[in-house]
Amino acid sequence: MSLNSESLVGQDAALRAQLADYARRHPEHAALADEFSTLLDDAENPFLRSRLAGHFTGSAWLVSADGERILLTHHRKLDRWLQLGGHADGERDLAKVALTEAEEESGLGGLVLEDGVLFDIDKHWIPERKDVPGHWHYDARYVVRALGSEAFVVSEESLALAWRTVAEVAAEAIATPDGDQSLPRMAKRWLAR
């Protein structure tokens, strides 16, 4: 086994351990965590967006320094308010993906990965758009904290960005048109910590 192969195996083992820990903490998501782990074994690289049967993404639950607010993006392509995040594009460390995406999509400096522990996982359908067929995102979500200025810059991926109170997001228990409850779920989980 080459050094590169050993590194990939180690990174996959780290993600598998994070998923097992997440399933222990959130037994209601154990089956989904198992599905994520199974995806790691796929012969076609699940960290590349070209795997159209589904692929990994990394997202940030980007909270203010005091933990009271969350930065959300009005996603340009999906036309929905979401947490910041994006494609792994070959990177197997999904916590690193979450931090990088948060930095790129917010323009904020002073962002810190809270603890590298999975905060949430979600599998969601991305509808067909132009020449890209519909596909599944297996999204690993991590807590990222803004320790510097909160003056964000809207990137080309967003229509807008906004700081919202976590309590406000938790209270919006009405599902989106596609039934997604992940933002209120994460907000309630954050408040219950």
114-162 tens-digit pLDDT: 998 999 999 999 889 888 899 999 999 999 999 999 999 998 888 899 9
Half-sphere exposure of 61 (CA within 13 A, CB side): 29
Report the alpha-carbon angle 100-105-111, nearest 5: 50
User: What is the spatial distance between Cα 133 and Cα 118, in angstroms, rounded to a whole number?
Assistant: 28
pTM score: 0.91
Full set of structural domains in the chain with CATH = 3-192 (3.90.79.10)
What is the tens place of the pLDDT at every residue in 167-183? 999 998 654 555 568 99
64-98 residue pLDDT tens: 999 999 999 998 888 889 999 999 999 999 999 99
